[in-house]
Amino acid sequence: MAEQTTQPPNELDRAAEEAGFYHEAALNAAWTGSRFAIGALAFLYGAFAFAYFYLRSINSEGRWKGSGYHAPQMGYGVTILVLVLVSAVVQYAGLQRIKAGAKGAWQAAALVALLLGTAAVVVQILQLLSLPFQPGSSGFSSVFTDTYPVLLVSWLAAMLWLEILVMRARPLTAISFLEQPPTYAEAFAVQRFQSSLSAFTLVWNFMAVVTLFFFLLFYVL
Amino acid sequence: MSIDIEPEKAQEPAGSGPIGPRLARPWWMRPAMHTGIIGAILGYFIGHWLGNFLSWEYARNALSDMNDFPLVLGYVIAVVGWLAGLGVFNDLGRQILGKPVPAAEEEEEAFGGVARYFRFSLDHKVVGIQYLVGMIIYFCTAGLFAMAIRTELLSPSYHIMSSSAYLMVVGEHGTMMMMLMSSVVLGPFGNYLMPLMIGSKRMAFPRLEALSFWLTPAAFIILLSSVLIGGFPTGWTGYAPLSVQAMEGMDAYAVAFGLMGISICLAGFNIIVTVINYRAPGMRWSRLPMFVWSMVTVSFLMVLATPVLIGGMYLLILDRTVQTANFVNTLGGSSYLYENLFWFFGHPEVYILALPGFGIVSEIIPVFCRKPLFGYRVAGAGMIGVALLSFFVWQHHLFVSGINPEMRPLFMLTTELISIPTGFIYLVAMGTFWKAKLRLTVPMLFALALYFNFLIGGISGVFLSDVPADTTEHGSFFVMAHFHYTIMGGLIFAFFGACYYWLPKMMGIKLNQKLGYLHFWTMFIFFNSTFLPLFAVGMAGQPRRVFEYATNLTPLNDWVSISSFLLGASILIFVINFIWSTVIVREREVANPWNSRGLEWQVAAPPPPGNFEHIPVVLSGPYDYGVKDAPAVADLHPPVGVVSASYASAGTASTGVEA
């Protein structure tokens, strides 16, 4: 804590003004950054989707799936999809609750979302360790083996982010989500936390849509 | 208004962190390059051992009869160890454990002196200098490979290296230049100057910015390590199926290029978010310096195009390690898949290299013409147009590589269209030069040279975009001459122009002008003497990446080789000048030696910590040279209340925050 009582009043006001300016910029940066992160992720996963459709359409040597094709285990696929989707929905609902001032409700929702997302990571690892095909046995198996480890890493990174948010929320008082906190420092900390949470929720929702998209490609089409 | 707690020190939940204990440690225990190197070495051996342990039961991949898994895992964990040793994960670890994290400014205050250039610094100016030195080292290393190529080509039949060694050298040169030089402008000048130019005291994501730099030495060393294990035969493009079949050196290529892709993406992400959100009050989009516009457009390309490259390199690594068959035609994959993924990044990459050069010269020419930049909006539109169109031209690299013939006219058209926004940028230059009294300083000469060189590169590019011409010249030295004219003639000349223009600001020292003129004239003459004859060599049928050629082309090749050595010597003049001026003589420079209106020139040289004493309020554009009664570019000491008024009305709606 840096008490600024020794500075002249004008400089004190200026420090507060500049702090406010950069605080506002940081809030906007979280908003903008999450949108650009989604753009970058869309192009990354777009590369995998392109590989899927490209290899599927040319069916090189008749081996897009080939003879003796084994589909990936539907049970694993559905489980992972449900875990990720429910995690995203729970987190989204939690965000709405904390926006309404209920910090405790969000904390509970976040823990559930964290648990479900981590479970999705674990189940995905289990599936990759017991795939019914060799990675290079066909075009399909290759793209499947390409895509899911990257999704897994993305889910893991998202869960790490959520865990950090859960830890960040701990020292913030519940009342500060309902009323204007007494100091700028506390107000700024709460606002920054909320902007990070909004950014995370957006990215996690996007990841849920990506998971659904690839589920449709690999398990349904 | 009073304030109880300094808000910026409470960025994280529990306020500022205790940085005192870290300072109390002896220097060799503080995270820096040496701990990074130790981490990398340990990581490599752990990764290699782990790779052998995990993959002992499969011994070969689909095409190359090798198991590259241990090597790749060694590289990956070496990078993790390098970053861990540098302390990259320290703050992340603290956050995961719910411990306080010091604000970026607070960390920087704790470390000073030369040592900060060897550590994971969060100061954008330190990162800019780190990038500058790094890029000069990478550029000179890649240049030495070029010297080796030209030495081999002195004779059509007498060889100083084997054909495979020649391919290795060509690959190292091309990859190092194309991969690492992507950040040659954005890294040093973008990171250092952009916050100053927009009136900001900081970057949006300083940790990402620092990470983007520290990934580049890792990529450089990994790529260089390929030499120790046989190199790679594919050149910088890494085409499948050869890249899947190649020996272990190819793994170094794929890992290094993937890493550099991550670095580029992070750097662009940070820059663009900073420009959007951290501009000073009054710094409207219509007042942004053209250099910042070029950074914005390049950052868009970096953020959107490089993830596709990362994906492509990842697929290649999986083909070479866990035996997928993405690029193996006989197993359901396709080598064209690689070519498409690569060039979807690869062509925007060309503009990632070119656009910063345009930004630099657009910044330099109004200063030395003492005239406003002609057609400011046209220049911005040109950059945006080039950036957008660059996503729609990649198939022209595949005109003779199996593209559906019916698609050729479309991509020929889009490629030719890109010359229109490029022409805008030339129009802006011509308009600025019109009736101006040019001051032929060293930076201005480099800027003028860019327009000359890029014109040759651009016109030959339009020629090559036509399918019949491309079919004839594809894979020849003609193409090689074309892209050297655009990239070296454009980007590298602009880079050196920027060095002479901005280094006095960045380092507070004068660069020796006599050596500068000598550098320029030797570089300009020998650059053209090297690459202009290569158009003729290409037209005469000499193919790229082949170390033997027809005897009748010997005189031209010898001319080119000797010119290239002299070109190398001209770069050496710069290196000598750089070291002489910055390390030995260190003659102080005034704050604004060019009498420029740019906001970055309104502060001391070198800029103080925090860039500005107070957040400036921008009053006018940066190019009102010679305009009677032009207002000052900014108020550097605005009264209290002006800055807060600028954001008070903005509210919080755009953040999604309801405080």
**Is the CB of residue B337 less than 8 Å away from at least one CB of chain A?**
yes
Rounded to a whole number of angstroms, the distance from the CA of B651 to the nearest CA of chain A is 9
Residues in chain A: 221
**Is the CB of residue B334 less than 8 Å away from at least one CB of chain A?**
yes
pLDDT(B56) > 90: no
Q: How far apart are CA B506 and CA B605, in angstroms?
A: 7
**Is the CB of residue A179 less than 8 Å away from at least one CB of chain B?**
no
- At residue B205 the predicted structure's pLDDT band, cuts being 50, 70 and 90, is very high
pLDDT(B412) > 70: yes
Measured between beta carbons, which residues in chain A are less than 8 angstroms from residue B334?
A: 54-55, 58, 60, 139
How many CB atoms within 10 Å of residue B161? 15
What are the tokens at B279? 């501009």
The mean pLDDT value for B245-265 works out to 95
Asked if B334 and A60 come within 8 Å (Cβ–Cβ), the reply is: yes
Check: CB of residue B183 under 8 Å from CB of residue B131: yes
Q: Name which of B9, B203, B310, B324 to mutate to probe chain A: the one with the most chain A Cβ atoms within 10 A of its Cβ.
A: B324
Searching chain B, which residue's CA lies closest to the CA of residue A12? B2
Question: Which uninterrupted H or E stretch holds B337?
Answer: helix B335-369
pLDDT score recorded for residue A204 = 98
- At residue B198 the predicted structure's pLDDT band, cuts being 50, 70 and 90, is very high
Share of chain B above pLDDT 90, in %: 79
Of the candidates B596, B425, B560, B427, the one whose C-alpha atom is nearest the C-alpha of residue B494 is B425
Asked if B3 and A12 come within 8 Å (Cβ–Cβ), the reply is: yes
pLDDT score recorded for residue B644 = 85
pLDDT score recorded for residue B6 = 39
Query: How many domains, in total, are found in chain A?
Result: 1
Asked if A195 and B315 come within 8 Å (Cβ–Cβ), the reply is: no
The mean pLDDT value for B297-320 works out to 96
Check: CB of residue A184 under 8 Å from CB of residue A19: yes
Place of tokens 């080789």: B561
**Is the CB of residue A91 less than 8 Å away from at least one CB of chain B?**
no
Residue A62 CA to its chain's centroid (Å):
37
Asked if B303 and A40 come within 8 Å (Cβ–Cβ), the reply is: yes
Longest CA pairwise span in chain B (Å): 83
The H-assigned helical ranges of B87-181 are: 90-96, 104-110, 124-152, 163-175
The minimal CB distance from A13 to the residues B1, B201, B334 is found for B1
Rounded to a whole number of angstroms, the distance from the CA of B483 to the nearest CA of chain A is 26
Rounded to a whole number of angstroms, the distance from the CA of B71 to the nearest CA of chain A is 19
Asked if B331 and A99 come within 8 Å (Cβ–Cβ), the reply is: no
Q: What is the pLDDT of residues B257-278, one digit of tens each?
A: 999 999 999 999 999 999 999 9
The H-assigned helical ranges of chain A are: 9-58, 74-99, 103-129, 139-169, 184-215
Rounded to a whole number of angstroms, the distance from the CA of A185 to the nearest CA of chain B is 5
DSSP-derived secondary structure letter, B118: G
**Is the CB of residue A96 less than 8 Å away from at least one CB of chain B?**
no
Asked if B273 and A36 come within 8 Å (Cβ–Cβ), the reply is: yes
Of the candidates B208, B334, B331, B348, the one whose C-alpha atom is nearest the C-alpha of residue B268 is B208
- Measure the N-to-C terminal CA separation of chain A; round to a whole number of Å: 58
Rounded to a whole number of angstroms, the distance from the CA of B319 to the nearest CA of chain A is 8
Asked if B5 and A12 come within 8 Å (Cβ–Cβ), the reply is: no
pLDDT(B64) > 80: no
Q: Give domain B102-585's CATH architecture.
A: Up-down Bundle (1.20)
Asked if B640 and A167 come within 8 Å (Cβ–Cβ), the reply is: no
Asked if A194 and B654 come within 8 Å (Cβ–Cβ), the reply is: no
**Is the CB of residue A132 less than 8 Å away from at least one CB of chain B?**
no
A23 located within any domain: no
pLDDT score recorded for residue B108 = 64
Check: CB of residue B611 under 8 Å from CB of residue B195: yes
Check: CB of residue B586 under 8 Å from CB of residue B330: no
How many CB atoms within 10 Å of residue B610? 14
pLDDT(B442) > 90: yes
Question: Which uninterrupted H or E stretch holds B618?
Answer: strand B617-618
The mean pLDDT value for B153-163 works out to 94
Measured between beta carbons, which residues in chain B are less than 8 angstroms from residue A167?
A: 13, 95-98
Q: What is the pLDDT of residues B210-226, one digit of tens each?
A: 999 999 999 999 999 99
DSSP-derived secondary structure letter, B226: G
pLDDT, averaged across chain B: 90
Searching chain B, which residue's CA lies closest to the CA of residue A28? B655
Owning domain of residue A152: 46-54+73-220
Q: What is the pLDDT of residues A188-219, one digit of tens each?
A: 999 999 999 999 999 999 999 999 999 999 99
pLDDT(B518) > 70: yes
Check: CB of residue B379 under 8 Å from CB of residue B324: no
pLDDT score recorded for residue B488 = 95
Burial B543-557 (b: 16+ CB within 10 A, else e): ebbebbbeeebeebb
Phi first, then psi, for residue B634 (nearest 5°) are -160, 155
Rounded to a whole number of angstroms, the distance from the CA of B143 to the nearest CA of chain A is 32
Q: What is the CATH number of the domain that holds A80?
A: 1.20.120.80
- The answer for residues whose C-beta is within 8 angstroms of residue B258's C-beta and 6 or more apart is B309, B310, B313, B314, B317
Q: How far apart are CA B625 and CA B369, in angstroms?
A: 8
A178 located within any domain: yes
pLDDT(B402) > 80: no
What are the tokens at B306? 């490089």
Asked if B308 and A20 come within 8 Å (Cβ–Cβ), the reply is: no
pLDDT score recorded for residue B376 = 94
Searching chain B, which residue's CA lies closest to the CA of residue A135? B324
The mean pLDDT value for B477-490 works out to 95
Asked if B8 and A22 come within 8 Å (Cβ–Cβ), the reply is: yes
- At residue B630 the predicted structure's pLDDT band, cuts being 50, 70 and 90, is confident
Of the candidates B280, B284, B288, B299, the one whose C-alpha atom is nearest the C-alpha of residue B190 is B299
Name the B residues in 79-138 with CB < 8 Å from any A CB. Answer: 95-98
* pLDDT, greater one: B539 or B17: B539
Of the candidates B425, B226, B258, B239, the one whose C-alpha atom is nearest the C-alpha of residue B338 is B239
Question: Which uninterrupted H or E stretch holds B475?
Answer: none
Place of tokens 């670890």: B93
Check: CB of residue B601 under 8 Å from CB of residue B505: yes
- The answer for residues whose C-beta is within 8 angstroms of residue A106's C-beta and 6 or more apart is A94, A95, A97, A98, A169, A197
pLDDT score recorded for residue A198 = 97
Rounded to a whole number of angstroms, the distance from the CA of A182 to the nearest CA of chain B is 9
Q: How far apart are CA B100 and CA B243, in angstroms?
A: 46
- At residue B9 the predicted structure's pLDDT band, cuts being 50, 70 and 90, is very low
How many CB atoms within 10 Å of residue B466? 16
* pLDDT, greater one: B23 or B374: B374
- At residue B61 the predicted structure's pLDDT band, cuts being 50, 70 and 90, is low
Peptide bond into B206 cis (omega under 30): no
Q: How far apart are CA B410 and CA B399, in angstroms?
A: 11
Searching chain A, which residue's CA lies closest to the CA of residue B208? A33
pLDDT(B12) > 60: no
- Give burial (CB, 10 Å; 0-12/13-18/19+) of B62: buried
- At residue B3 the predicted structure's pLDDT band, cuts being 50, 70 and 90, is very low
Q: Say what the pTM is.
A: 0.93
Q: What is the pLDDT of residues A27-38, one digit of tens each?
A: 999 999 999 999
Half-sphere exposure of A76 (CA within 13 A, CB side): 17
Searching chain A, which residue's CA lies closest to the CA of residue B646? A21
Place of tokens 């091309």: B174
pLDDT score recorded for residue B476 = 94
**Is the CB of residue A140 less than 8 Å away from at least one CB of chain B?**
yes
The mean pLDDT value for B149-155 works out to 96
Name the B residues in 1-60 with CB < 8 Å from any A CB. Answer: 1-16
Rounded to a whole number of angstroms, the distance from the CA of A163 to the nearest CA of chain B is 7
**Is the CB of residue B204 less than 8 Å away from at least one CB of chain A?**
yes
- The answer for residues whose C-beta is within 8 angstroms of residue A60's C-beta and 6 or more apart is A139, B329, B330, B331, B332, B333, B334
Check: CB of residue A83 under 8 Å from CB of residue A113: no
Rounded to a whole number of angstroms, the distance from the CA of A83 to the nearest CA of chain B is 23
Of the candidates B325, B129, B137, B7, the one whose C-alpha atom is nearest the C-alpha of residue A23 is B7
Q: What is the mean pLDDT of each run of 10 residues along chain A (221 residues)?
A: 49 85 95 97 97 95 88 96 98 96 95 98 96 92 96 97 96 89 88 96 98 97 87
Paired residues of B476 in beta bridges: B543
